[in-house]
Amino acid sequence: MKFDKVIIGNIVLPDLNFLGEIGVNDGKIVEISKTTGVLEGQDVYHYGKDFVFPGFIDAHVHCYSNPNEGIKRASYAAAKGGITTFLDMPYDLPVPVASVEVLKKKIETINREAIVDIALWGTIPKEDGAKVIDELADAGVAGFKLSTFETDPYRFPRIADADILEAMKKTGNRDLVIAFHAENDELLTRYIKDAQAENHLEPIYHNLTRPPVTETTAVIKLLDMASWADAKLHIVHVSHAKSLDYINWFKQQGTNVTAETCYNYLLLTTEDLKEQGPKAKINPPLRQPQEVRELEAQLLDDSIDFITSDHAPWQKADKSIGDADIFKAKSGTPGLEIMIPLLFDHLVGNREVTVSHFADLLAFAPAKRFNLINKGSIETGKDADFAIIKNSEPWKVDENSFLSVSDVSPYHGQQVDNRIEATFVRGQLVYSHSTGVKEQATGRFVKPNE
């Protein structure tokens, strides 16, 4: 049998990896061979001993927090970073994805501009919002994202408890994830006011005004509500081990809950916030070094379901505005094109996480949670989405050369010891280190269960 494409390399499956070959026809994985020199193909890609991972999945991306970015630029960044599918957040400027009309427009943009595959989060309006859930679910959202903290009253509102409970019940009935930005609005608003009144505007006050209790109180409320509402709960960007203790206790009681942390919480600490100021400002904030070690212990102990980037494509002016007053800077960092290489060094290189576990945290687990049934692992019948990682290839992060519109990163200048050699989406080579991104928009909108 002759295949359209054959990929040769160190293939990473859920519980083992081996030098072998993958045969691809019509964008699907058709055969996996545990020896090389067996499969015949029209196009044969030899990657030697490089790792052939399932295409990575980033469940937490904000293409339109900064509309200069948009789908096209973010998808280029994703392809360069080995991410073949991402889930874009709903808090778009100027209008959030809280209606079918807005959702449909975004789907059209994806099908017109993206070079990787993209699934979409929906959200609900601030007042009496749960009524939009069924129609957005029918139109193909992969989940709903809500917040207990008011970032913006229209675009990214705090949702009242009664509406949260109703939304939990409705999304649960649809077997869809309901995810939360979990911070206690009342507490941190007070703490920020107090700091400002005393003119404490230095970077570390971003951390001091959002102590762990501002996260844990929000998390435990949501866990309790989800247990009553039979929700499929997901807590985004968990920054603290104590939140995970609560999450895991509820999990053991049978509550349907998962948790993600973001790469920044594993790689940076309050020391970086002090040194780099606004560039290292994210919500929830970076934690103390000891707290980061505790979070990492939870990760190594399988207490974190997956890792995301929380990609927020800010530009220099969005951050420098906070140089003299940390509260004025935008929160977030870009991540699509650097997260995988940085985490590979940290987890596989330094912490001896197996490549299969790495693939679980960054592909298999998110695909499973969001019912992206053709994604997330190298198995016959699934989409031929691959990320090729070449180890021992040092380079330096350069914030001025991102494919994302973002040009600020707390990792600027940091050495990385592996690189993304190539990225395939449904069998198509969308990025290679030697030729860059292929700009033809072959990406697609992805629906759960399709």
Min dist. Cβ of residue 228 to Zn ion (A): 26
Contacts of 230 (CB under 8 A, 6+ apart): 168, 169, 172, 256
Min dist. Cβ of residue 65 to Zn ion (A): 8
Min dist. Cβ of residue 185 to Zn ion (A): 16
Q: How far apart are CA 308 and CA 59, in angstroms?
A: 6
Nearer to Zn ion, 21 or 310 (CB): 310
Nearer to Zn ion, 41 or 90 (CB): 90
Q: Residues 295-314: x/- map of binding to Zn ion (CB under 5 A)?
A: ---------------x----
Nearer to Zn ion, 310 or 385 (CB): 310
Give the residue at shortest CB distance from Zn ion.
310
Nearer to Zn ion, 61 or 342 (CB): 61
Nearer to Zn ion, 310 or 421 (CB): 310
Beta bridge partners of 41: 3
Total of residues contacting Zn ion (CB under 5 A) = 1
Nearer to Zn ion, 281 or 419 (CB): 281
Min dist. Cβ of residue 338 to Zn ion (A): 17
Nearer to Zn ion, 22 or 405 (CB): 405
Min dist. Cβ of residue 149 to Zn ion (A): 11
Rule CB under 5 A: say whether 69 interacts with Zn ion: no
Min dist. Cβ of residue 235 to Zn ion (A): 12
Min dist. Cβ of residue 405 to Zn ion (A): 17
Q: Residues 376-395: x/- map of binding to Zn ion (CB under 5 A)?
A: --------------------
Min dist. Cβ of residue 321 to Zn ion (A): 20
Min dist. Cβ of residue 89 to Zn ion (A): 6
Min dist. Cβ of residue 270 to Zn ion (A): 20
Nearer to Zn ion, 88 or 310 (CB): 310
Nearer to Zn ion, 50 or 310 (CB): 310
Q: By CB under 5 A, what part of segment 310-369 binds Zn ion?
A: 310
Nearer to Zn ion, 181 or 242 (CB): 181
**Three-state helix/strand/coil letters over the chain:** CEEEEEEEEEEECCCCEEEEEEEEECCEEEEEECCCCCCEEEEEEEEEEEEEEECEEEEEECCCCCCCCHHHHHHHHHHHCCEEEEEECCCCCCCCCCCHHHHHHHHHHHHHHCCCEEEEEECCCCCCHHHHHHHHHHCCCCEEEEECCCCECCCECCCCHHHHHHHHHHHHHCCCEEEEECCCHHHHHHHHHHHHHCCCCCCHHHHHCCCHHHHHHHHHHHHHHHHHHCCEEEECCCCCHHHHHHHHHHHHCCCCEEEEEEHHHHHCCHHHHHHHHHHHCCCCCCCCHHHHHHHHHHHHCCCCCEEECCECCCCHHHHHCCCCCHHHCCCCECCCCCHHHHHHHHHHHHCCCCHHHHHHHHHHHHHHHCCCCCCCCCCCCCECCEEEEEEEEEEECCHHHCCCCCCCCCCCCCEEEEEEEEEEECCEEEEECCCEECCCCCCCECCCCC
In the complex, the residues that contact Zn ion under the rule CB under 5 A are 310
